[in-house]
Every structure is written in structure tokens, then in C-alpha cells.
Amino acid sequence: MKITNKTEILNLLEQEDDIINPLGFKHNNGLLKKDMNKKINEIAGFCEQILKVVRKFDKDKEIVFLECSCGKSYLSFVLSYILEREFNTTPFFFGVDTNKELIERCEEIRSVLGYKNMTFKHGRTIDFTPDKKVDVVIALHACNTATDEAIAKGIKIGAKYIMIVPCCHGQLRSQIKSHHPLTNVTQFGLLRYKFADILTDALRSQFLLGNGYYVELLEIVSPKLTPKNILISARKIKGRNKRNLEGYYELGSMFNTNFGLQEFFQERSSNDTLVCTC
């Protein structure tokens, strides 16, 4: 196993045209596209953390990943490449996204790379039913509440690991203007914006804790590269117990918010498609 950290992953990606070219990260003249620099760094930083988790599985196990809001599935393709090449193991990947064209693009890339260990599905994460037991749910910048769908789906299917790097956090921004103890903070637009992000990720983490997961938060890349750099990394350690959700409900009521994670565990009355605003 040669690859251990983000820098080594970046070096590998920059050198290996057989993965970087099908993903469209380079110009025809062989230079890396400048606008892909941020994405490549995010993927390398995320992969670094996922590889730590991979090492905890038996070497012979086929690790099954579900990438929610996969877009062009850069993360899954890179991960598959690294795991086969450096770890001598072939994982399986499900990718799901509401954008049909992107799912078709994933199929094209898969076919160019000749990978047979991937299935892509057009639709909402919450509606997707994998036909294999999923070990690790991953999501990089799933828009707004699509991140919550990934968390809810991971809990519902009993994934051992749920690793989420959220994107925009729109849901609470308008809800925390008044009627809570920190209105002297949230009366300022910029602070309300930042505080909504923190509160949203705290609620997500409390929800995971309450559902039997051990939760850590860490940065996958420098905040100078992107403020959307926080990984919520959760590992299942015990069963689901509604009583353990007190932290989640307490936090929600302290800020008088209506955060919807628990609603994914109720019967849905509509199937509205989310609109990406990021």
C-alpha cells in the first residue's frame, strides 16, 4: 500500500492519465484544467479519509459504496482506481443523482474505463434501493437537503459508515432570524449565514449520534480552498434508539427551527424533486 495521504493521492492523479483523462481533468495539451483544481483537491482530501476507513475492513471483503448526489461520480471513479491499483481490492459502487444527463455521463466514463463494478441510477437518493448491502455511504457537496437524504438513506440501510461533505446549507437560514437565545448574533446577515451552517451540521451530527453512530467532524481541505470543506464522518457503533435523539430535538427547539431529517423516517406525502441552488 503506497498511498496514504492527500498529497500522495494528488501526485498519483496528476501523473496517471488513464484515470485523469476520462474524467476530463486535463486539456488536450496535457495540462490540468485550472477550474478542476479545487475539485481534484476536494476529492483527494475526501479519499484520504475514506482510505482510513477502508483499512478497517477485511482485505478480502468487497466494500460496497453508495455515492449520493454523485454528479459525474469523480469521487467514486478515483476511489475505485486507487483501491484497485494500490490496495489490490475491487470495491462496488452505486451512484445516484437526480440529473439524468450526469448519470448518462457516468455510464460513458465507466464504459471508457472498462469498470464493471459500478451501477448508476437516476433519481433521488431517498428513493434509491440498493440491491447489495451498502457498507459506506459517501456524498460530496450534495446540495442543501440532498445531504440530509444521504444521511437518512445511510441510517435506513444500516450503513456501517456515513461520510458526508455538505454543500450549501439553505434550509435554516431564514428560520433563525428570531425567537431564540442568540438573536443578537443572527441579526447580522453574514453571521446568520455562517451560524446556519454550523447549526445545520450540528443537527446532522446529533441526529447521527442519536441513531447509534460515533461522529467526528474534520476538514478535508484548507478553508482557503473552499469553506465547504467539513466532513461529517459517522461510524455505526450501536442500534437505533429514539431516546438518544434528545440532543437533536433539544438543539432544534433551542433555535426554534424545523429541521427535516426525522421527516425522512415518516411516510412521505409528496415526491417533490429538489432544485439545486448552489
User: Where does this chain bind ligand SAM (CB under 6 A)?
Assistant: 68-71, 74, 96-99, 102, 124-125, 140-143, 146, 149, 167, 274, 276, 278
Strand positions, DSSP E, 201-244: 213-219, 230-236
C-beta closer to ligand SAM: residue 44 or 142: 142
Cα distance between residue 80 and residue 96, in whole Å:
16
For ligand SAM, which is the closer residue by CB, 255 or 264? 264
- Helices 6-15 and 74-86: angle between axes, nearest 10 degrees: 90
Distances, alpha carbon 38 to alpha carbons 42, 47, 241, in Å = 6, 14, 39
Nearest distance from residue 183's CB to ligand SAM, in Å? 31
**Nearest distance in Å: CB 271, ligand SAM:** 10
Determine the Cα–Cα distance for residues 28 and 110; give it in Å rounded to an integer. Answer: 20
Output the smallest distance, CB 17 to ligand SAM, in A.
20
Given the complex with ligand SAM, which of 123 and 212 has the nearer CB atom?
Answer: 123
The residue among 94 and 255 lying less far from ligand SAM, judged by its C-beta, is 94
Q: What is the dihedral angle through the alpha carbons of 249, 207, 264, 198, rounded to the nearest 10 degrees? A: 90
Residue with cell 484544467: 33
Complex with ligand SAM: residue 79 or 143, whichever CB lies closer: 143
Which residue, 12 or 126, is less far from ligand SAM as judged by CB?
Answer: 126
Residue 12's SS3 state is helix
Closest listed residue to residue 199, CA positions, set 219, 214, 185? 185
Residue nearest to ligand SAM (CB): 71
Shortest separation between residue 94's beta carbon and ligand SAM, angstroms = 12
164 pairs with which residues across the strands? 139, 232
d(CA 207, CA 7): 33
Q: How far is the CB of 154 from ligand SAM (least distance, A)?
A: 13
Question: Cβ 176 to ligand SAM, closest distance in Å?
Answer: 23
The answer to whether 143 and 167 are in contact (CB under 8 A) is yes
Q: Output 197 or 255, the one with its CB closest to ligand SAM.
A: 197
* Residue 263: CB minimum distance to ligand SAM, A: 14
The grid coordinates of residue 108 equal 460513458
In three-state form (DSSP H/G/I as H, E/B as E, the rest C), the secondary structure along 227-261 is CCCEEEEEEECCCCCHHHHHHHHHHHHHCCCCCCH
